[in-house]
Structure 1
Amino acid sequence: MEDGNSIIYGLEHQTRSLSPQYAESEAIRFLIGTQSLKPNSNQVHVVELEEDTGALHTKVFKHDIGEIWHLRCSPHDAANLVTTHNTYDPNTLQCTMGVSIFKLPTLQVIPKDLDELSSLQGRNAEDLELLVTIKPEKAEEEIRCAEWHPTDAGRLGVVYESSVRVHDVSSGAAVCSMKSDGRTRLKLTAGKWNPHQGHTQFAVLQDMHIKCFDTRTDCSKPSWSIDNAHRQLVRDLDFNPNRQFHLASAGDDAALNIWDYRNGKEPIFNRTDHSHWVWTVRYNSYHEQLLLTGSSDGRGLLYAAASICRDPDDDSEKTGKILEDGVLQSYEQHEDSVYCSEWSTVEPWTFASLSYDARLVISRVPRPFKYKLLL
């Protein structure tokens, strides 16, 4: 795979959920969930990039439980994943959301020999092993997403429309609950564990605001909050992996904001390069000044936010080893809203973006920017 040449993988059904295989340490793999309204037609695709040749290898698994709205691979076991899904019941004519934990029957994607390749080519979608399903307390309650705890393999944070509950992975039972302020009707839209502060904090997005709760307390009040983080709905957030007080957020005001939540009145970095809603933002795990965004304008953008990532004694600016703030590259191979952008957890220069038109685009950071960071 050469720099500047993206690889496109097309699916049969519409898509809006993507996750790297976090616990995988060698292969560049992404998992995709489909969102088809047809009964028993949804799937989970495992896509592996062969780095030397640029070839894509895939495995397809059935997800008959319903359309997938969110998917996240386990950071503890490469075989486990969790999906947030919507199921239509023809008997009651109603849709019910749920969260299901599955296990992949195999981790192998690239065939070892020609005989195995021939057998794989004629094979239909395989079954996933269902471990547990978590259902809302009320059938009509919506579920936004489910996030694995960063260090505790037995805990899962689930964001509902009006609360967050931490569930036991084995039984599905709720062990902790955080409810939104009863005086407001503002619904939650997403959430994520804080990878710092002892992995006890869970941040949620509520309308235009970001609020973070400590799961060791009664969760009646947030530990910290950023009010009016965006002028319109906040869609996504991601914590800086290296700086414990920094996080990035994206919203319907077409903005990318970076915050120091110790003083959340004004962002420390702000860009409005998209022309429509920004659905996703992701920090590079190795190089914190690199970020990805995806938007309803059909573009994925690669950003540099170098000016806020320098330490006081850092002389990289004098030596020229620093990127200029702003958009480094625009990726426009999509024809619909880009709902997800994710970095590979194995190769720091490789990333993927996914749009609603069932198109996965795998790209690499252009060589000039890569060398400027390394040399």
Structure 2
Amino acid sequence: MDEGNSIIYGLEHQTRALSPQYGESDAIRFLIGTQSLKPGTNQVHVVELEEDTGALHTKVFRHEIGEIWQLRCSPHDAATLLTVHNAYDPIAQQCAMGVSIYKLPTVEVIPKDLDELSAMQSRNAEDLEHVTTIRPEKPEEEVRCAEWHSTDPGRVGVVYEGRLAVVDLASGAALAAAAPDGRARLKFTAGKWNPHQGHSQFAVLQDMHIKCYDTRADGAKPAWTIDNAHRQLARDLDFNPNRQFHVASAGDDGALNIWDYRNGKEPIFSRSDHSHWVWTVRYNCYHEQLLLTGSSDARALLTAAPSVCRDPDDDKQPVLEDGVLQSYEQHEDSVYCAEWSAAEPWTFASLSCDARLVLSRVPRHFKYKILL
């Protein structure tokens, strides 16, 4: 991929689900889920970027259950993924959501011989191997998101609109649960495992607030909270991979906030560079001062936050300044997802509702400032 240039991959159907292939450490791969209302037309696309040439290679798999609202690759196995989906249930005569676990028949994307090349060029979609499906207790219950446990491949945290459940994939049983507190019964909107604190905490977004539950407890009260994290609905959060008390959040107020949840009265870092709702925020797993955001203003922003990534006894000046490093404006619709590559720390992808995937790189001069 040339310096300063992005690569665009277009799909046939609308999209809002994107995930890097976490279990793959050598190839730059992203998985995309489509959101078509027409039964039997949804797909999972595996997109691989050839770093040296900038060429894109793809494989397409059928997703028969329904439109895909979220997709997450397993951090434990490159061939395993989950999707949060919505489809019409003819028995209940209504739409019903669920979480399905699948395995890819192969993780290889770039063909190794001529027979594989001709098969890829035919563009025939292959079948995913269905493992199991987690369904809500009530058909009308909405599933907000699902997240793999950081260390246990047999556990998945599922956020419903009114509760959190940690599900054992082998038995389908809920190992832990939590529900919104307070009389207002504000609904959950998203959530994520805390990679610190023994991998036992799960943080959820509840309206404008962040609440984190210890899954070893009864779930009646959160372990910690950040009230009014945003002035409007909170949309997404991500934990700093290196600093155990830092969490970033994004919301409908157009803000990116970073918090030290030991004292959540005021954010330790805040930017309002987007002009509309911010749907997603992601820390770079290797360089914590770099964050990605995607917004309904049709932009993905690369932002630096070095001022909150310094140790108290570090006298060196940050090599980057706080603020937006670069704006990526190749999208024409809401950017629902932005994700860093799991294999290469300087490559990332953004996905918009108009079925457009944009692969980009951190500009070289910022990269060299960080490394040198």
**Counterpart in the other structure of 2:224:** 224
For the pair 1:346 / 2:340, whether they are aligned, the reply is no
Classify 1:123/1:256 alpha carbon distance in 2 versus 1 (closer, same or farther; 3 Å): closer
Unaligned runs of 5+ in 2: none
**Secondary structure at the residue paired with 1:316?**
coil
Question: Where do 5+ consecutive residues of structure 1 fail to align?
Answer: none
Q: How many angstroms does 1:91 deviate by? A: 5.8
Deviations 1:198-237 (A, max 9, x none): 0000000000000000011111100000000000000000
Q: Which residue of 2 aligns with 1:21?
A: 21
Aligned positions, number: 372
Within 1, Cα distance between the matches of 2:327 and 2:118? 38
Q: 2:366 aligns with which of 344, 369, 374?
A: 369
Contact 1:61 1:125 in 2 (8 A): yes
Q: Secondary structure at the match of 1:292?
A: strand
SS at match of 1:120: helix
SS at match of 1:270: strand
Q: How does 1:11-50 map to 2 (within 5 A)?
A: 11-50=11-50
Deviation of the 1:3 alpha carbon: 1.9
Does the Cα contact within 8 Å between 2:60 and 2:123 map onto a contact in 1?
no
Structure 1 equivalent of residue 67 of structure 2: 67
- Deviation of 1:322 after TM superposition, in Å, equals 1.1
| Aligned residues of 2:192 and 2:203 also touching (Cα < 8 A) | yes
Between the aligned partners of 1:279 and 1:151, the Cα distance in structure 2 is: 26
Cα distance, 1:174 vs. partner? 1.3
SS at match of 2:116: helix
Shift of 1:314: 2.5
Aligned match of 1:355 = 352
- The Cα of 1:143 is off from its aligned counterpart by 0.3
Change (3 A) 1:169 1:92: closer
Determine the structure 1 residue equivalent to 2:283. 283
Identity of aligned residues (%): 79
Q: Which residue of 2 aligns with 1:159?
A: 159
3-state DSSP class of the match of 2:229? coil
Structure 2 distance, partners of 1:63, 1:295, is 27
Q: Distance in 2 between matches of 1:90 and 1:354?
A: 31
CA contact (8 A) 1:254 1:277 kept: yes
> Is the CA contact 1:132–1:171 (under 8 Å) kept in the aligned structure 2?
no
What displacement does 1:173 show? 1.9
Q: Give the SS at the match of 1:167.
A: strand
Contact 1:44/1:62 (<8 A) preserved: yes
3-state SS in 1 of match to 2:127: coil
Q: What's the C-alpha RMSD, in Å, of the aligned pairs? A: 1.0
1:149 aligns with 2:149: yes
Q: Which residue of 2 aligns with 1:274?
A: 274
CA contact (8 A) 1:9 1:361 kept: yes
Distance (whole Å) between structure 2 residues aligned to residue 6 and residue 155 of structure 1: 36
C-alpha distance in structure 2 between counterparts of 1:294 and 1:312, whole Å: 31
| SS of the residue 2:266 aligns to | coil
- The residue identity in structure 1 corresponding to 2:270 is N
- 1:211 paired residue number: 211
Instruction: Give the superposition deviation at 1:106.
Output: 0.4
Aligned to 1:325: 322
1:18, 1:340 within 8 Å by CA — same for their partners in 2? yes
Question: Aligned-pair distance for 1:115?
Answer: 3.2
How far residue 343 of structure 1 moved from its aligned partner, in angstroms, is 0.2
Deviant stretches of 4+, over 6 Å = none
Name the residue aligned to 2:126. 126
TM normalised by structure 1 equals 0.98
Within the alignment, does 1:307 sit opposite 2:301 as a pair? no
Alignment partners' CA distance in 2, 1:212 and 1:306: 26
Cα distance in structure 2, aligned partners of 1:99 and 1:127: 17
Q: Which residue of 1 aligns with 2:180?
A: 180
Tell me the secondary structure at the aligned position of residue 8 of structure 2. strand
